[in-house]
Structure 1
Amino acid sequence: MVCKPLDWEHPKEELDKCFDLDLKKPYVLSDMRGGYLSTPTINMYTGLLSSNNLRNFNIELHDFDLHDEMVSILNGLQKQGFKINKKVLDFVKNNRQTLENEGLLMKGILAHVNLKEAFDLMRKSYYINKDIKGVCSLDSLLKELGIRAQKARYEDFIIRLVSAYEDYVFYLPAFMDFRGRIYRCGILHFHERDLARSFIEFADNQEEGCKQSVKDIVAISAAFKYKKFYDYDDALQWYKDNHNTIYASDQSLICFAKSASDPFQFIAKVLSKDDVQEYDRIPISQDAAASAYQIMSYLLLNEEMARRTNLIPHTDGKIQDVYTCILKDLKTYLYHQINDKSKIDIIESKLDRKLIKILFMPLIYGKTLNSMENDIRQRYGQLINVVEELISRIGSTKARSENNMNEPLDDFRNLKTWLTRACQNAEDETKGRLPIRNRIWKALVRGAEQEGKIGSRTVGQRKGEVLIPGRSRMTRECHVRFLREGCDTTTYQARRAVHGAASLLTWSMHIALSRRLAAYPRSSHFQEDPRLDLV
């Protein structure tokens, strides 16, 4: 990486094999050569596309001008030299102990732990200590230890790698994926995690002198690495208000970084902000706002979605967040469908922007309904433990009367009945366009009847009341075993209610998003068809 990578070009031996012998233009995009591995042999193959399976990317080139433009862009990008930001490196080395104590870095000793011996000691300590068995499982402890050790090794490797590249100018070869996005090679580039990105700066850029506008841009960039803002002026004002506190000491800067969304990039911008010589070498990055939805809004000429994804400026002049907008639309839909505040509170307790992004960001790339349902279950499954603890406390209180003990159980039974009706309403409203009846929504009874009785009542006596997703008999039986394992009738009902809520929420999201997209007006160029029919 300290030598410039070769330019991307089509091999001459391949040009001779082209069908158009006069133009001698490239035929297949995946046959481009360049970067550092220009003459691969046997199974080693490095092309312009970042994939090993060439059959998936057999892209033919018919326009030589477009090919030449694409290659010139990639070659220009990988000719850009980079250097290590010494200020950030020195800051991390001098304050590593403090960064570890504050949780910004993992303990350095974990990077050199023998995991086999550590796992053996963990198992031995777990079986000796009886109290910890009621708090967490052995598998969760071993998994957590492995994750922390791996993270510590990564951080230690990045710091050692950056120290080795200090005072060198290095280059990052560029590649493309199947969507046309440009990626870099290695683990020290702008597509990596926060720590790696904070160490990189441009090399040998021309100085333009001290300009207040450039100074403000760096300050705004630092503010955005701390938290999100909806206006650039607000970000600049926040930085000015906290300037003296941030620069008070290294400890004060670390305290601010602890609350930042990208702590090490925040530190990098702060350390370089007041140095005039660093202005043109500081990378200023801005992530695309839901780029896939930007492309979709462009292809569909959907102006409202384009504004929500910041493809075009919004009327209020503020930065928009498409996932927050989807969250608001979904809540509006749920408020309209559900009139019971207690049920709304159950769903809203875990419904936030993070869950919406997990569900809808990969949806446009082909995320399946089953995958979405699993994500929701993982989020709402935490409520099961709370419900079971509540029920156990009620059951252990002998002073309560029988009627008082049944009050919370009635809420779960009502929730169960409501879920069934809501699912039926969702199915009716889609008019058969969503494959609910035969694929997802099936009565639990058909799988549970194979399991026999639950407590003193059979599942068949409650036929039609409980719905749990399952495509096959085996899937339904697995759900029943999981829900019934190690619990009584009351706990079983609580578990079914939570899992039913997760399933309902999945379909509610689909219906709400489909209706919202269908309501978006087209551009004025399409007056003859003012509505989009996306459902």
Structure 2
Amino acid sequence: MVCPPLDWVVQHPEGKEWLNISDLKGGYLNSISGLIHDRYRLLSSGNIKNFFIYFGKFEDSLSLKKAADLCEVMNKLQSQGFKINSEFLQLILKYEESFVHTGYLMPSFLTKRNINDVSELVRNLYIAAEQKLRHLTDYSSLIQTFVTNIQRARYEQTLIEMASAYDGYTFYLPAFLDFRGRIYRSGILHFHERDLARSLILIEDISIYEDYNPEFFDHYVRAFKTAAAYHYRSFTSDEAALCRISQLLHDLKGTDPLLSSEGTLIDFAKGAKHPFQFLANLRAIVEVDKVQKKSPFTLDQILSSPITQDASASAYQILSYFLLDDTLAKRTNLIPMDGDDRIQDVYNHIEIELKSFIAREGSVPEEVFKDITRSLVKSIFMPIIYGKSQMSTADDLRGHLRSITTKKECFHIASLCFKFWKEKFAHMDHLIGIIRLLGWFAASCGRPVLYSTKFFNTSQDYMVMEPYSLWVYDKLKKRKRKVTLSVSSQDKRDRKKTEISTFVNFIHQKDAFIAMSVIEDMRKDGYPIYTVHDNLICTITKSQDLPGIYRKVFHDLGAPLKLVNNMIWMNLISIPIEKGIAGEENSLTEKKRMSVRV
């Protein structure tokens, strides 16, 4: 990853009618051809026959433009350089014991422990002390804890070793897509990963310093402090975030700002949402105050640190656009709230209204009523728009409220949540139903479901999974045994799964399109940009432009009905192509299947 990936370009193979993602050449580091599944390195779908991205016919200029635009977006993403946060990496290595003591890191010696040896040792100790431990835990829970901690220690140490290897280099993070167009990265050292990985990455971009204006240094520091506060916890305004970080810095005065052996600075990250990212930013802020502004270290740290701006419940934002629901748009911060400049949380609003509804409609014990928190509401109403069933919701509630509820009570609470959804969000439920019916109709007619955006088209074709039995040789038992696998059928479409998945993939594809549109706008202006689905990452000098660009993308989507009508046209009125879109992929898959049979 220390060499820039090759730019993606459109190939023009002879004899092909349809232009699809396999006709794009480039990536990291060279292009492999032939009957190799991995040559589709821009697409993460494991079943390229049923789930793939295409652009249209080769002779169509619009198809070529779509492919070229997608290449430009992906090239912008994969050509962005990054570097290791050397100062913070050295701090972790120097004060590793303090990080372990506070629980941020697992002890490194766990990486050398064999899980089987640990299991046997724990079993013997548990048997010896079973009377004392039986009322606290069981053997399987203890083993699971050990396995989890060993795996976490291995992950952390591998990540630190990898960061140490890349330290001093500019490295690149090749991007790829799923069949909906959502962007992912490979490996473990990128912003899709957990807090520790994200804290070790800085943006490497010469233009950062070219655009730097010394007169705005105090403004940059203020914005950097505000961004750091959001790694500590959520706030309703930037002013509240800045006030909190200022209080923390005041409390730090008189302590060793370079992190004493007792871990003074580490203690301030206890309870933070993202403790490693918070510590990385906090140390840079402390350094700014210590050396009084512009040392090379503080300037580089502030200008290169990634600034995260997360879309607020992006699925609800997209639904507010399709339904032209200004109330929902305000509650998801897509448009300003009248007379209230605080950051809104749609799940807090749902929590308040849901509790009022439950108090009016159903008899729920007071202890259970108090446990209906914002977190629980999000776990119900985020997946509900993606097709989560009432029974599945009841099972999840059982997990949250197991100690104080019965199974029957959980089902009753779930039924109240769904009744509230049907009444409060009836218009949303109707739109979801329309999109799902399109998928059901297409599957019933024996066709895949097709989606379209400015950058690409998507084909989704769920097949019924059929049991397939085969005999394998068991080396441990030294005999043959039968194994049953689920294999996708070739001609039976799964109408139920298609119906449920169509709206999910519809929203995810629009979400991917919005992210790509933001990248396209940022590319035109030469801004560094990284996306994690609906999370946008930039530098401090450019981050203030992101909200405006994000809203502009929604504005440029045009009339919502036009997008819905386009999907109706593709799946009901136009004649969807079953064979030929995938082109060589179908024949390739068939050749593989034949070789397996032989």
Asked if Structure 1 and Structure 2 have the same fold, meaning a TM-score greater than 0.5 normalized by the shorter chain, the answer is: yes
Map of 2:360 onto structure 1: 336
State whether residues 35 and 173 of structure 1, in contact with CA within 8 Å, keep that contact through their aligned partners in structure 2. yes
SS at match of 2:310: coil
User: Deviations for 1:7-48, whole angstroms, at most 9, x for unmatched residues?
Assistant: 1223343xx2333xxxxxx71135433322521553334332
CA displacement at 1:276 relative to structure 2? 2.0
Map of 1:72 onto structure 2: 72
CA distance in 2, matches of 1:368, 1:246: 49
- 1:327-406 maps to which residues of 2 (within 5 A)? 327-338=351-362, 343-383=364-404
Q: Partner letter of residue 310 of structure 1?
A: N
State whether residues 5 and 78 of structure 1, in contact with CA within 8 Å, keep that contact through their aligned partners in structure 2. yes
State whether residues 52 and 179 of structure 2, in contact with CA within 8 Å, keep that contact through their aligned partners in structure 1. no
Moved more, 232-241 or 34-43: 34-43
The structure 1 residue matched to 2:264, chosen from 248, 252, 269, is 252
Map of 1:135 onto structure 2: 136
Map of 1:17 onto structure 2: 15
CA displacement at 1:92 relative to structure 2? 0.7
CA distance in 1, matches of 2:367, 2:15: 65
The structure 2 residue matched to 1:287, chosen from 295, 310, 328, is 310
CA displacement at 1:164 relative to structure 2? 0.7
SS at match of 2:55: coil
User: Deviations for 1:334-383, whole angstroms, at most 9, x for unmatched residues?
Assistant: 111246xxx44232243212222222223323333333222111111133
CA distance in 1, matches of 2:218, 2:392: 49
Map of 1:506 onto structure 2: 414
Map of 1:318 onto structure 2: 342
CA distance in 1, matches of 2:278, 2:358: 38
Is 1:39 aligned to 2:32, yes or no?
A: yes
CA distance in 2, matches of 1:246, 1:192: 30
CA displacement at 1:313 relative to structure 2? 1.9
CA distance in 1, matches of 2:47, 2:25: 16
Is 1:240 aligned to 2:232, yes or no?
A: no
CA distance in 2, matches of 1:310, 1:30: 38
State whether residues 188 and 196 of structure 1, in contact with CA within 8 Å, keep that contact through their aligned partners in structure 2. yes
State whether residues 108 and 152 of structure 1, in contact with CA within 8 Å, keep that contact through their aligned partners in structure 2. yes
Is 1:270 aligned to 2:263, yes or no?
A: no
State whether residues 9 and 68 of structure 2, in contact with CA within 8 Å, keep that contact through their aligned partners in structure 1. no
CA distance in 1, matches of 2:394, 2:104: 33
CA distance in 1, matches of 2:170, 2:337: 41
**What are the ranges of 5 or more consecutive residues in structure 2 without an aligned counterpart?**
57-61, 289-297, 432-558, 561-598
State whether residues 87 and 271 of structure 1, in contact with CA within 8 Å, keep that contact through their aligned partners in structure 2. no
CA distance in 1, matches of 2:65, 2:12: 18
State whether residues 272 and 282 of structure 1, in contact with CA within 8 Å, keep that contact through their aligned partners in structure 2. no
CA displacement at 1:502 relative to structure 2? 0.9
Q: Give the direction of change, closer, same or farther, for the CA distance of 1:381–1:189 in structure 2 (3 Å limit).
A: same
State whether residues 3 and 170 of structure 1, in contact with CA within 8 Å, keep that contact through their aligned partners in structure 2. yes
User: Deviations for 1:411-453, whole angstroms, at most 9, x for unmatched residues?
Assistant: xxxxxxxxxxxxxxxxxxxxxxxxxxxxxxxxxxxxxxxxxxx
Map of 1:90 onto structure 2: 90
State whether residues 45 and 52 of structure 1, in contact with CA within 8 Å, keep that contact through their aligned partners in structure 2. no
State whether residues 187 and 196 of structure 1, in contact with CA within 8 Å, keep that contact through their aligned partners in structure 2. yes
Higher strand share: 2
Map of 2:539 onto structure 1: none
Map of 2:469 onto structure 1: none
SS at match of 2:308: coil
Q: Partner letter of residue 280 of structure 2?
A: A
Map of 2:124 onto structure 1: 124
Q: Partner letter of residue 27 of structure 2?
A: G
Q: Give the direction of change, closer, same or farther, for the CA distance of 1:3–1:190 in structure 2 (3 Å limit).
A: same
Moved more, 329-338 or 65-74: 65-74
The structure 1 residue matched to 2:237, chosen from 223, 231, 248, is 231
SS at match of 1:47: coil
Q: Give the direction of change, closer, same or farther, for the CA distance of 1:374–1:38 in structure 2 (3 Å limit).
A: farther
State whether residues 30 and 58 of structure 1, in contact with CA within 8 Å, keep that contact through their aligned partners in structure 2. no
SS at match of 2:309: coil
Map of 2:220 onto structure 1: 214
CA displacement at 1:132 relative to structure 2? 0.6
Map of 1:164 onto structure 2: 165
CA distance in 1, matches of 2:313, 2:170: 33
CA distance in 1, matches of 2:46, 2:25: 14
Is 1:50 aligned to 2:44, yes or no?
A: yes
CA distance in 2, matches of 1:29, 1:202: 29
CA distance in 1, matches of 2:355, 2:280: 38
Map of 1:22 onto structure 2: none
State whether residues 21 and 40 of structure 2, in contact with CA within 8 Å, keep that contact through their aligned partners in structure 1. no
Map of 2:273 onto structure 1: 261
Moved more, 36-45 or 92-101: 36-45
SS at match of 1:118: helix
State whether residues 323 and 357 of structure 1, in contact with CA within 8 Å, keep that contact through their aligned partners in structure 2. yes
Give the RMSD, CA atoms, in angstroms.
2.2
CA distance in 2, matches of 1:202, 1:44: 29
State whether residues 84 and 200 of structure 1, in contact with CA within 8 Å, keep that contact through their aligned partners in structure 2. yes
CA distance in 1, matches of 2:6, 2:343: 40
Larger Rg: 1
CA distance in 2, matches of 1:287, 1:515: 29
TM-score for both structures, normalised by structure 1:
0.71
User: Deviations for 1:393-428, whole angstroms, at most 9, x for unmatched residues?
Assistant: xxxxxxxxxxxxxxxxxxxxxxxxxxxxxxxxxxxx
Q: Give the direction of change, closer, same or farther, for the CA distance of 1:307–1:102 in structure 2 (3 Å limit).
A: same
Q: Partner letter of residue 518 of structure 1?
A: A
CA distance in 1, matches of 2:38, 2:180: 23
SS at match of 2:4: coil
CA displacement at 1:519 relative to structure 2? 7.7
Moved more, 175-184 or 146-155: 175-184
Percent of aligned pairs sharing the same letter: 36
Moved more, 80-89 or 297-306: 297-306
Residue correspondences, number: 399
CA displacement at 1:293 relative to structure 2? 1.4
Q: Give the direction of change, closer, same or farther, for the CA distance of 1:34–1:160 in structure 2 (3 Å limit).
A: same
State whether residues 10 and 25 of structure 2, in contact with CA within 8 Å, keep that contact through their aligned partners in structure 1. yes
CA displacement at 1:49 relative to structure 2? 2.4
CA distance in 1, matches of 2:310, 2:351: 20
State whether residues 30 and 54 of structure 1, in contact with CA within 8 Å, keep that contact through their aligned partners in structure 2. no
SS at match of 1:7: strand
**What are the ranges of 5 or more consecutive residues in structure 1 without an aligned counterpart?**
20-25, 384-496, 527-535
SS at match of 1:382: coil
Map of 1:517 onto structure 2: 425
- 1:149-228 maps to which residues of 2 (within 5 A)? 149-205=150-206, 206-207=208-209, 208-210=212-214, 211-228=217-234
State whether residues 362 and 416 of structure 2, in contact with CA within 8 Å, keep that contact through their aligned partners in structure 1. no
